[in-house]
Amino acid sequence: MKDIDLKKIRHVHMIGIGGIGMSALADILLPSGIRVSGSDLKHNRLVANLTKKGCRISMGHKKLYGCPDIVVRSFSVNDDNVEVIEAKKRCIPVVERSELLRAIINGRARSVSICGTHGKTTTTAMTALVLDKAGLDPTVLVGGEVDHFRGNARTGKSDIFVTETDESDGFIATLSPRYRVITNIEKDHMEHYGTMGNLLKTFKAFLANSDPQQILFHYDDDKNIARLKIFFKGTAFSYGFKRSSDFNARSLKISACSSEFVCYRKGKKLGKVRLNVPGRHNIANALAAIAVAVEFGIPFKRVCSLIGGFRGVKRRFEIQSRYAGITVVEDYAHHPTEIKTVIAMAQGLRPKRIIAIFQPHRFSRTRHLAGGFADAFYGADELILTDIYAAHERPLPGGGINALLGRIEKQGSQGRVMYIPKEKIARYIAVRAKGGDVVLVIGAGDINLIVPDIVRNIKGSRSLEGIAREYEPLAGHTSFRIGGPARFWAEPEDEHDLRAILEFASAKRLRVMVLGAGSNVLFSDRGFPGIVVRLSGPLFNGIVIKGTSVSAGAGVPLQRLIKEACRAGLCGLEGLSGIPGTVGGAVYMNAGYKITVGACVKKLRVMDKQGTVRILSRKDLTFGYRTSNLTPYIVLGAELKLKKAVGRDIEKLCSELIRHKKENQPLGKPSAGCVFKNPEGSSLSAGKLIDECGLKGKQCGGAEVSRKHANFIINTGQATSRDVQRLKSMIKRTVRARKGVLLEEELIVP
């Protein structure tokens, strides 16, 4: 179906009606008496607006309503859609959105088509606003929501139709509007065109499809337009910053929230223009709108007063919140040139820092414009990348988020760069952002949906929601079964959660303690005034064995690690048998019997207290008796180098060690393991020294020196931290007095 006769259409069904372009078409069809129905996968503000106006819209793709004359589908709807299939079975014509738009454009005597890589939405909105307020009553279709129109479209009674025209699918080549505006032409939409040459061919066809009565307004500083404008058969007017441009701007004054310039036409001064939107790019957009309005016969002074009332388009450097000195801005930018403009506008706010959050749009665009993205964020102090908005594309080699992250990191012109899943960004920003910061949320996908969460979290104290709870009793998290509540108890799922915890702790000046199995710690009866972290998430609990190399997350229980290594026929971890700890704690304390875990460590993945992840090789590490040089870090995971077992059955050996410990240690009683280190230079162990002093069975309240192993203090059922502390002090005094040895504590007391 090539041409649609709107006069013969009574009912239109639109698949994907909630999109910005489809909803606008529906909006302008309704007042003409055409019945409109449709479907979409998600409910949004645009769908709600259409429903109020009488559209029947279903959530999810189902059967067609009634007997539509045509079914219109958005670019993202494929042939396997159930409604498309039904329409074809019923011989109902299925057309693209662009075909319906062409019918509307070509059916209006004074249609204004505004296209280009950047700026077309704002230019369309500015032009439409001026024509509407001047009383010309245009029909308008914009690719964004405008407050003046209370949406993205309006229906007028005149023959003027102002529309934003997207070049993404090449359909503009078939259009022949009376007036056309080209803002610029840059490399984009390579998923359709493949090459820049093909894109230029489409614009060439768009310009060539003209007649002598038509008019072109074009940006004068664009080399691609300069090459192609010769194919236009009508009258062309240029606009820009060159003095030779037909409409040009001079004496620019740009502030954080506004812009001023003096407008000239063919060398003649027209007057000063003040805009309520900032940026050189917005001055260029305004020049295009002024040129169109003047051509429509609106006096320049009237144009100036009207365009000064333009307040911007939603998702175009839209300030969503200013709170506690933190400014949150949302922008639809998804092309490197647009992003550079957004960063420049943010710099105009004179922030202490710029934190940019970017959701790339389409795998194809990410791959084709990777080099541009690598430079686009120069000026941002921190860049957060999140998963690509696919827009129904399949992943492409070189078009993934990891490839883009690597490209940006390699290029090295940005500040701190990291990847964070979309659902975790709001929580991270809430603890990261500080007074004076500007937070930019950038992208054309659904990244805007996190903005309310960012604002809410900044304003509230919910920054650890989902990964922490308050006043958690610690007794249930330690082998001693002693301890009051932690101010916060946090169980991060991954490194992003952990980084958010550290940022929160830094902002609130709270101590952070990472707790493994809680087997060698004694918490106060008053609890812990900071954040206690247990690395229980899946990222911290994986084990990968390749040959003799074993990689294990910090949260992996030691006995599980030993069991997996034994099954793989690997030895070297037997000294950890029976220790109720985790990999992270064991490495940090260099735990083990005879052979310690430090002897097996090849490299470690750690996070410093600022949230930066590092890889420490063997040469970076120092291990001693129950010590290491890991105090500045949190262990995330370890790569261990083991040996192939030869001869003896490793599982049998481990079982023997555990049996030996059960026979000689009170493993069935609540305790924290050995309380004191074996003294250097002494022929006697700490346990033997305590035993020879006759201290087995000594008690302080509910704490007792084990009768089985004197270096263990056990909780008989009602022990308090104070009981244990008093008993420890008594043991140290007695051993020093009778044996001349000062015992050093192995037990951690936060």
- Give the separation between CA 50 and CA 69, rounded to whole angstroms: 20
The predicted structure's pLDDT at residue 1? 44
The predicted structure's pLDDT at residue 553? 92
Nearest Cα to Cα of residue 68 among 38, 29, 107, 112? 38
463: tokens are: 């920054």
- Give the separation between CA 354 and CA 186, rounded to whole angstroms: 26
Q: Which domains does the chain have, with CATH numbers?
A: 6-96 (3.40.50.720), 108-307 (3.40.1190.10), 318-459 (3.90.190.20), 468-533 (3.30.43.10), 541-651 (3.30.465.10), 669-739 (3.90.78.10)
Please give the backbone phi and psi of residue 683, each rounded to the nearest 5 degrees, phi first.
Answer: -80, -10
Question: Dihedral, CA atoms, 13, 17, 23, 27, nearest 10 degrees?
Answer: 30
At residue 70, the 3 state secondary structure works out as strand
Over residues 307-353, the pLDDT tens digits come to 887 876 777 778 888 877 788 989 888 788 888 888 888 888 888 89
Amino acid (1-letter code) at residue 355:
I
- Give the separation between CA 132 and CA 147, rounded to whole angstroms: 13
Q: pTM surpassing 0.75?
A: no
- Give the separation between CA 260 and CA 252, rounded to whole angstroms: 6
Helices (H), 348-387: 363-368, 370-376
The predicted structure's pLDDT at residue 657? 66
Nearest Cα to Cα of residue 295 among 335, 237, 253? 237
Over residues 578-592, the pLDDT tens digits come to 777 898 888 888 877
Nearest Cα to Cα of residue 512 among 607, 620, 416? 607
Q: Which helix (H) or strand (E) holds 470?
A: strand 468-473
Tokens 């001869």 found at:
647
Cβ proximity of 574 and 607 under 8 Å: no
Amino acid (1-letter code) at residue 190:
M
The residue count of the chain comes to 750
Instruction: Using 50 as the pLDDT threshold, list the residues of the chain that sit under it.
Output: 1, 462
256: tokens are: 């954080």
Mean pLDDT of the chain: 85
- Count Cβ neighbours within 10 Å for each residue of 156-181 and write b for 16 or more, e otherwise: beeebbbbbbbbebbbbbbbbbbbbb
Query: Do strands 35-40 and 11-15 pair parallel, antiparallel, or not at all (unpaired)?
Result: parallel
